[in-house]
Copies of this chain bind each other. A is one copy, B any other.
Amino acid sequence: VTKEPIPVIVYGLGAIGIGAVKLALQKSYIKIVGAVDVDPSKQGKDLGDVIGGDRLGVTVQPNIQAALAVAPAKVVLHTTTSFMELVEPQLVELINAGLHVVSSTEELSYPHLQSPAIAERLDRLAIDKGVSVLGIGVNPGFLMDLLPLTLTGVCQSVESVEVVRVVDTAKRRVQLQKKTGANLSEAEFRGLMDTGRMGHIGLVESVALIADGLGWPLERIDDEVEPVLAKELTTSEFFQVEAGRVVGLNQVATGWSNGKPRIVLRLHMSLRAENPCDRIRIEGTPPIYLEQPDGVAGDHATVAILINSVHRIVEAKNGLLSPHDLPIPVCRS
């Protein structure tokens, strides 16, 4: 069966959005028909120029109405910010336009936790308009939540889930090195922590997503962040960090059920972290232990899972969905 490609608009042309466009161009089942960005310096340009490639005949528009006036679409790839409060008006506009949404917004991977009222409004609106909305990514959205949930599929019962992810940020984008505190003093790091601006966004969402998938009511979720300090001079392409200053962070999110820490997610991200890896341990019948010795590189993977969700969202039920509500986003060519 030869199907028409799915017409897609990319909304947000930061690093992830640009990566998504580049990958979408290689997929026969996707056709990029529009692009939207708030940055006036990108508006009016050909999308090919913005991503640094050949002309595509798609002009970057200032808003979704302008994009839809040029070409109708079915799905929006939404890559703007991490936070529900900021994306709600954007999502409302996209849903009202009758578009399915695949979004990289971290908090949207499980918005019922921190923004239950917004989540309910979006869910009702999406059902009303006959569209599906999904927040997904590699973390949150896969490595520390959807993958362990998938593994429970072969368990008769589950007692606890523990995931450890160790990332060497020196091998990643400068933004991640900055976000994890590279070259801050410990005092600066703790100052940012106190204002809630330090720590990976989405780890508590991953805990809540696992609990939701397993049907576990949680009493509470703890989220602890600590700086990792350089033991010696530590360098990356972008930073030279003296001993005693910050090279990254250790974060642990814990979901408590029946008085026990039953979901424990440990994320270590630092410059030159030793033995980068992903490990999943499920205590249950049978027990499951799995490791990915080199870990999964985040940036390529995040772009991939967004694109791989496009063929799933058009066949999904309507409403605000969680990653485990859909069939797995397999890689199609």
Contact = CB atoms under 8 A, between A and B. Distances in A.
Interface of A: 23, 26, 138, 142-143, 146-147, 149-158, 213-216, 284-286, 288-294, 296-297, 300-301, 303-305, 307-308, 324-333
A330 B152 contact: yes
17 contacts: A23-B156, A26-B156, A138-B154, A146-B328, A150-B328, A156-B304, A214-B330, A214-B332, A214-B333, A215-B333, A284-B331, A289-B292, A289-B294, A290-B291, A291-B291, A327-B327, A328-B328
Contacts of A327: 324-328
Contacts of A329: 153
A189 to B, nearest CB: 29
Nearest to A304: B156
B301 A154 contact: yes
Closest 4 CB pairs of A and B: A154-B301, A152-B331, A153-B329, A156-B304
Contacts of A157: 26, 331, 333
Contacts of A308: 152-155
Given A153-B329, A324-B328, A327-B326, A296 B286 contact: yes
Given A147-B151, A152-B330, A291-B293, 12 more contacts: A26-B157, A142-B153, A154-B296, A154-B308, A155-B308, A155-B331, A285-B304, A286-B301, A288-B296, A325-B327, A326-B327, A328-B328
Nearest to A294: B289
Q: How many copies does the complex hold?
A: 2
A213 B329 CA distance: 10
A216 B28 CA distance: 13
A289 to B, nearest CB: 6
A151 to B, nearest CB: 8
A289 B156 CA distance: 26
Interface centre among A149, A152, A307 (most CB of B within 10 A): A152
A214 B332 CA distance: 5
A215 B327 CA distance: 15
Given A142-B153, A324-B328, A293 B286 contact: no
Contacts of A284: 331
B330 A324 contact: yes
Given A286-B297, A291-B293, A324-B327, A332 B215 contact: yes
A149 B153 CA distance: 14
Contact of A285 (B290, B291, B300): B300
Interface centre among A142, A156, A294 (most CB of B within 10 A): A156
A156 B331 CA distance: 7
A142 B154 CA distance: 8
